[in-house]
Structure 1
Amino acid sequence: MHRIEPQMPAAAYKTYAIVAPRSTHWVDATCAEVDCAHYVNGWQSVIDEATELGQRQAHYIRKQSGRRFTEERREGGLTAFTFESGQPCFNAAKHQRRTGRPELYVVRDGDYRGNPLGTPARQHVKAADWVEDFAEHQQALADEHQKG
């Protein structure tokens, strides 16, 4: 990520953030719950069985995956496994969905470099309060800039 080099120390900045932490705002989900494209439409995996890795992958698909598929042999040791819709994809264990909890409206001292003074973050209960805090801070900055 490219960032503009700050002109002041980190302690001179404030960071306003709206966050939904993974630990509190997300849960594991099924393919169906997240409308996974592979689950909805089916998918195809082309495996190179000329390699050791490809042989292990093909063995897993055929003997251990428990998924419905057809297979088509192709040139060069390739095998196309076509999986019908309505079954979990191979990334199903990584799917997550939001819990429905509202976002957190946080104000921290410092910037991406950290909070050198170690002050605790403030969390607003309402979005409107966070917006008001932000607006007041922006106005204070504009007033200081106008003073010169």
Structure 2
Amino acid sequence: MIRIEPNMPVGAYKTYRIMSPQSTHFRPATCAEADCEHHLRGWQSTIDETTVLGQQQAHYIRKQSGRGFTEERLSASLTRFIFHAGQTCFAGGHQVRLDRPEHYLVRAGDWRGNPTGQSQTLRAQDWVDDFGEHQQRLADQLERG
């Protein structure tokens, strides 16, 4: 990540964050719940069956996956598997958001650290108010020079 070097010391800054942690704000979901594109529209996988990995993948698709598909031979080495919509994709790991409010955080410092250790979680409106007041103080200081 490229960051612009700040003009002031770390203690002169405040950081405002809105967070929805994966661990508390999301849960695992099925393809259907997550509106997975592969589930909705189907998908294709092209496999090179001249490689060991490709042979293993093709065997899994044909014998173990339990998914509906058609096969199309593209060349002596390549096979395209066309999977029908409405079934579980291979990607997995889908998640859906839980109906929980975000965490509104304010802390001293910036990306370089928090020299005072100050950190607080606010209600949404208090966070917005604090952010607005902070922005106004910065604008006033800039105007004064």
Give 1:130 shift: 0.8
Give 1:40 shift: 0.5
**Divergent runs of 4+, >4 A:** none
2:72: which partner in 1?
Answer: 72
1:53: which partner in 2?
Answer: 53
Give 1:137 shift: 1.0
- The secondary structure found in structure 2 opposite 1:75 is coil
2:43: which partner in 1?
Answer: 43
Higher mean C-alpha deviation, range 136-145 or range 56-65: 136-145
TM-score scaled to structure 2, two decimals?
0.92
Cα distance in 1 for residues equivalent to 2:49 and 2:22: 38
Give 1:12 shift: 1.8
- Which residues in structure 2 correspond to 1:61-140 (within 5 Å)? 61-92=61-92, 94-119=93-118, 121-125=119-123, 127-140=124-137
- Which residues in structure 2 correspond to 1:4-23 (within 5 Å)? 4-23=4-23
Unaligned runs of 5+ in 2: none
Unaligned runs of 5+ in 1: none
Cα distance in 1 for residues equivalent to 2:99 and 2:38: 24
Equivalenced residues, count: 145
Identity %: 62
Q: Deviations over 1:94-144 (max 9, x none)?
A: 10110011111111212122223333x21112x221111001111222233
Give 1:22 shift: 0.6
- The secondary structure found in structure 2 opposite 1:80 is strand
Cα distance in 1 for residues equivalent to 2:48 and 2:18: 44
Cα distance in 2 for residues equivalent to 1:115 and 1:52: 51
- The secondary structure found in structure 1 opposite 2:114 is coil
Cα distance in 2 for residues equivalent to 1:10 and 1:49: 56
Cα distance in 2 for residues equivalent to 1:117 and 1:57: 54
Q: Deviations over 1:16-47 (max 9, x none)?
A: 11111111101111100011010001111000
